Amino acid sequence: MTPEGRRAFGARVAELRNRCGLTQRDLAAEIGRTTSWLSQVERGVQPVNRLDVLRLLADGLGVSLQELRPDAPQPVEAEEPAPRPNDLDQARLLISGHPSLDVLLSPDSPCEEQPLAVLRSEADEAWSLAHGDQLSELSASLGSLIPRLERATRTADRRKRSEVYALQARAYQALSAAFVQQNEADAAWVAADRSIAAAERSGRVLDVFAGTFRLAHAFVRLKRYDQADYVAQSAVAALGRHTDHAEASSEALSLLGSLHLVLALVHARSGNRADARRETDHARRVAVRLGEDRNDFNLEFGPTNVEIQAVSVAVDLGDAGEALEIGERLDASGLSIERQARLDLDLGRANAQLRRVDDALECFTKAERLAPEMVHSHVAARSAIRDLMLVAGRTAPPELRALAQRADAMS
């Protein structure tokens, strides 16, 4: 885009924003960008060439992509997709209201005691399902487990109650992570908050930080970047002092590094390149101290996961070349299906930014084979697939059209 084109586009954005009665702060908050970034766009300083960012602006202004920028690719006509059932609908009902009203009414009624070994095994299985993108199975599993854990925390022998609370915290963390994965951010917030409360009652302080990590991710999905930043920064400040010595535990380091990655994501989504890179570098240094890929608190933190997140940050910042350079040298085979699919998904997004239709399609197809629900429900992935359809137009290959239909990304 020429300087004159940038100024004309910026004036158009300002005109549409004023027509909607929005301040720059209002619109920036709506689209998850900073006021400074939007001001630069309107002054013609900051170019906006990526289709996903153009679509974001158009949605925030309540206009079509073509009304915002007439030279944007025309959407491909398609039939309206049928609504897709959510695999976590039943789990969403599970966290609605008080979890154990009957126990409150009859606290002394006889209740079958739940063996801790069984509860522990089911909590482990819940995380296996979450990491394996088996969300229907996870919803069914937690639909049975969480009510029993809620009852057990109120009826179990006091000597066992601490461990029951710890298992309850883990179960709610798994549920929060799954809700984030399916873009059910408000439900993720509730589940994360319950996990934090249970963790504190268990007396296991680091579990509180694990729940805080899940809470920060829920705020990111809600585009409440100020809240995500506050939650993660507060946790990093406290945990940083706790780990500022050579004997810091691996568990604490995994949490600290993961929280730095959340902050990198927050800054990337806000368009703050310098701070996003700084937080990624902090996470890299923590990973060097850790020295290996681990799965403490089901975070999968370690050197490999830091670089997977670095790919995601680069894509969010629009640095597609950097994302591909990092990602194509990574071997994620030792991590979970969810992590492997996330890497392929982000490499697909990077290729889509460069309008490499065939390469992007290959990456998205690979991610879909590993974790279909992730690709079909991931907002940024669906947006990238939609943009590929716009770029390819009537010449879109059948494989891309089929993928767009499965992801409800045809228009």
For position 177, what pLDDT does the model report? 93
Is the pTM here over 0.75, yes or no?
yes
- The tens digit of pLDDT for each residue in 320-345 reads 999 999 998 999 999 999 999 999 99
- As given in the structure block, the two tokens for residue 205 are 């302080």
Distance CA 66, CA 54 (A): 10
Question: What torsion, rounded to 10 degrees, do the Cα atoms 376, 378, 379, 384 define?
Answer: -70
- The tens digit of pLDDT for each residue in 146-172 reads 988 998 888 888 888 999 999 999 999
Query: CB–CB of 72/54 below 8 Å?
Result: yes
What class, spelled out in words, does domain 314-411 have in CATH? mainly alpha
CATH pick for 3-68 out of 3.10.180.10, 3.30.70.20, 3.60.9.10, 1.10.260.40: 1.10.260.40
For position 110, what pLDDT does the model report? 58
Query: Residue written as tokens 């805080």?
Result: 212
Query: Residue written as tokens 């073509």?
Result: 66
- The tens digit of pLDDT for each residue in 192-209 reads 999 999 999 999 999 999
For position 100, what pLDDT does the model report? 78
Top-confidence residue, 216 or 22: 216
Query: Residue written as tokens 């990574």?
Result: 330
- As given in the structure block, the two tokens for residue 358 are 């065939």
For position 112, what pLDDT does the model report? 63
Distance CA 383, CA 52 (A): 6
- Is the model's pLDDT at 278 over the cut of 80? yes
HSE-up (13 A, CA, CB side) for residue 267? 20
- Is the model's pLDDT at 307 over the cut of 50? yes
Give the DSSP letter string of 316-333: HTT-HHHHHHHHTT---T
- The tens digit of pLDDT for each residue in 58-81 reads 888 888 877 888 876 555 444 444
